[in-house]
Amino acid sequence: MEENTVIKVKNLTKQFGAFTAVDGISFEVKKGEIFGFLGANGAGKTTAMRMLTGLSYPTAGEATIAGFDIYRDTEKIKQEIGYMSQKFSLYEDLTVGENIRFYGGIYGLSDELLETRTEAILKNLELENERKTLVASLPLGWKQKLAFSVAVLHRPQIVFLDEPTGGVDPITRRKFWELIYQSAEEGITIFVTTHYMDEAEYCDRVSIMVDGRIDALDTPAQLKVQLDAVDMDEVFLKLARKATRADG
Partner 1 sequence: MRTLRFLLEKEFRQIFRNPAILRLIFVMPAVQLILLPMAADYEVKNVEIAIVDQDHSPMSRELIAKIDGSQYFELTEYSDSYEKSLETVELDKADLVLQIPPNFEKNLIKENESTLFIAVNAINGVKANLGNAYLANLIRQYNMEVRLEWMQLPKFNPFPMIEITHSNWYNPFVSYPLFMVPGILTILLTMVGGFLAALNIVREKEIGTIEQLNVTPIKKYHLILGKMIPFWLLGFVVLTIGFLISYLIYGIVPVGSLVTIYVFAALYLFGILGFGLFISTLVETQQQAMLFGFFFMLIFILMSGLYTPIESMPDWARLIAELNPVTYFVEVMRMVVLKGSTLHDITRHLVITGVFAIFLNGIAIWNYRKRG
36 binds partner 1 per the rule CB under 8 A = no
Applying CB under 8 A, the span of 17-25, 97-105, 125-133, 234-242 interacting with partner 1 comes to 97-105
From 5, 32, 59, 88, residue interacting with partner 1 (rule: CB under 8 A): 88
Q: Which of residues 38-57 bind partner 1 (CB under 8 A)?
A: 53-57
Dihedral sign, Cα of residue 129, residue 170, residue 117, residue 92: positive
Q: How far is CA 210 from CA 23, 41, 136, in A?
A: 10, 10, 36
From 85, 118, 183, 193, residue interacting with partner 1 (rule: CB under 8 A): 85
The rounded distance, in Å, linking the Cα atoms of 31 and 157 is 8
Q: How far is CA 67 from CA 15, 143, 215, 224, 244, in A?
A: 25, 32, 26, 32, 35
105 binds partner 1 per the rule CB under 8 A = yes
5 binds partner 1 per the rule CB under 8 A = no
Q: Is 153 exposed, middle or buried (0-12, 13-18, 19+ CB in 10 A)?
A: buried
90 binds partner 1 per the rule CB under 8 A = yes
Which x/- pattern over 53-82 shows residues binding partner 1 (rule: CB under 8 A)? Answer: xxxxx----------------xx--xx-x-
Residue closer to partner 1 by CB (options 75, 185) is: 75
